[in-house]
Structure 1
């Protein structure tokens, strides 16, 4: 989709917007971020009744203070029984010390050594998907490549049968809204959308069945290690293990899918950077980091104030919702030189693409490895590629639902 005119976007430009912007706006927010950092660094958004924070320093301080800015939203889901297991093991919705207890039991699966051992499987999966596409001149990059990779890899990590990956992929699509193969409402042949609660019940039942098998016959996979994990004489309950597995399958896969999609968008929009990357394979890692800064999927983090607190001269009462815009922090002129420039050689690059503080993404090493392997294979197999018309978003500039691509193969 890039044209000669698009070369002008190498330095990054956006349309000037006013103070108010819908939280589900999928247009480029860079100009709005700059305006808010400059004139309204902390402001109350009236439509949903929440505070918004935009500057790097304020976002970093807030996300580093879980005692004041809580992540615990489990009480809000108490009325939804099907969500009970998800909230029990979802350490992203916990504050210390509960967060520390669950996260520490899961962290062994994401050590550098454990993640490195997954490289052959990631490579095999990516090659299989590309082989299935070989020669196709146009396809949806998300449906055909970026979405299946992390789901299949996470199934392997958990020790779930590979033939069940299709079920996991279906549940992930329904529960995250990335059902890219579904016909739009009103279209010929369109069916009623799947019921997310029904999918959640199915997934919960499936995971409980495999947990029961691990309790009967121990296994050396993540699910087996979670079943056998013990800390201070305590073990995880079945519901907590279901919650952990659900978090990895739903949130974990979405982050990688969006990272891969945003890699393709950024390289398409910045052809000189793509040419530089093809000429310098050592820039793959720094390119991934720059995409995480420039167009990070998790561009906002929601917290709840436990006490009255002051940020940038604004007093926020206790019991308020606060939205920390990591996407804006990643473009802060006070922290990054030429922040609107997409620079694949940027160093240092202290972005918040994987979050910040105690909730820094546990799966970041795995996400980086998947993106590295996938990007290298794509550059090796695609002689050229363009993003075609028809890109679809859902609720954010960096959350991509559909990414049509035209490809010329090597």
Structure 2
């Protein structure tokens, strides 16, 4: 791939070095462990006896009340409820709406002959879908995008502040939905019961925040990374134009190669030994998904972007009970977005007068802008 250097966008050389020399390494300053190999990352994802998904921040932070940060049995209860909105039938029913959004965004870009693939296409598409699922006024889309970016950014103060802002925002909507239910996800959540108990306000807010981030940031960066990869690999692009049925398989390779979520966190619950290292209760563990998905012990020629890769057991959506609830929606949105843009602008090209820059986020991978020149 000629659009990056490892050190600037995806630190593939660093990941490889760490997998070889220090696959499990302790950061004494932060009291955290970093885990780089596929086998170890996958194992920890599934080990709920020794590792907890609960965060290190205040228990009152809404994101800590979401299914992302819950262990069994609470996790099972919450997931059982919210998964009703993500059944295969429910997701597939969104396809016409997603196609309409993609076409409208391409119509707008066609007028000028150019677009920023991030700002004008990959970002608004999933935001519009999530906003409609939740039942949020369309005029608030820009606020949602700003909140979403802050939640995955590196500004800790803004991270906590935007959760407070979102808590106030969703509390107001929840109160209105209790009095006047609508055909939307928030109405369903405020009236639903899990094993006879209603969800707390904090749990509902936490899920709304999680859905916003997971449903927006992951898909946005997946779409932009796909367009970036296909700009460099013209043979792959030609294959997908000629045979659109291959797009889902190509998206799986984008998920592996440019994993939108680069790392996930676990907290050690019980003393355990991993590759000769003793991990103690309370210590944080960074699971480097981006490294695991380039582990040569599990992927042949991992440094190569290969849309024909099969099998492709990447960990981009996690593993085990915390496997991403919205993975099917992300895949559907990305498939439609890529297929629509390739059909409308098969000869699109990245504007190479613009220097690519990575998002200011330690946990997400993506670029902060992707200007394209469009030709039919």
Per the normalisation by structure 1, the TM-score is 0.84
Q: For 1:375, which of 338, 359, 363 is the aligned residue? A: 338
Alignment of 1:11-410 (within 5 A): 26-73=8-55, 76-78=57-59, 84-88=61-65, 90-177=66-153, 199-387=162-350, 388=352, 389-393=354-358, 394-395=360-361, 399-410=365-376
**1:353-387 C-alpha deviation (Å, 9 max, x unpaired):** 11112211111010000001100011011132233
Q: Measure, in 2, the Cα distance between the counterparts of 1:44 and 1:198.
A: 30
Q: Is the 8 A contact 1:155 1:162 kept in 2?
A: yes
**1:67 CA displacement:** 2.3
Runs (4 or more) in structure 1 with deviation over 6 Å come to: none
Q: Measure, in 1, the Cα distance between the counterparts of 2:363 and 2:150.
A: 20
Q: Is the 8 A contact 1:382 1:407 kept in 2?
A: no
**1:155 CA displacement:** 1.0
Q: Is the 8 A contact 1:390 1:404 kept in 2?
A: no
Gaps of 5+ in 2: none
**1:42 CA displacement:** 1.4
Q: Is the 8 A contact 2:294 2:302 kept in 1?
A: yes
Q: Is the 8 A contact 2:135 2:184 kept in 1?
A: yes
Q: Is the 8 A contact 1:28 1:397 kept in 2?
A: no
* 3-state SS of paired residue (2:25): strand
**1:312-351 C-alpha deviation (Å, 9 max, x unpaired):** 2222222221111111111112211222221101111110
Q: Measure, in 2, the Cα distance between the counterparts of 1:313 and 1:174.
A: 37
Which residue number in structure 2 is paired with residue 185 of structure 1?
none
**1:8-42 C-alpha deviation (Å, 9 max, x unpaired):** x9xxx976xxxxxxxxx644322222222222221
Gaps of 5+ in 1: 16-24, 180-193
**1:106 CA displacement:** 0.6
Change (3 A) 1:14 1:46: farther
Q: Measure, in 2, the Cα distance between the counterparts of 1:161 and 1:66.
A: 39
Q: Measure, in 2, the Cα distance between the counterparts of 1:298 and 1:28.
A: 12
Change (3 A) 1:47 1:142: farther
Q: Is the 8 A contact 2:50 2:268 kept in 1?
A: yes
Q: How many residues align?
A: 372
**1:104-150 C-alpha deviation (Å, 9 max, x unpaired):** 21110111001111111111222222211114344322111111111
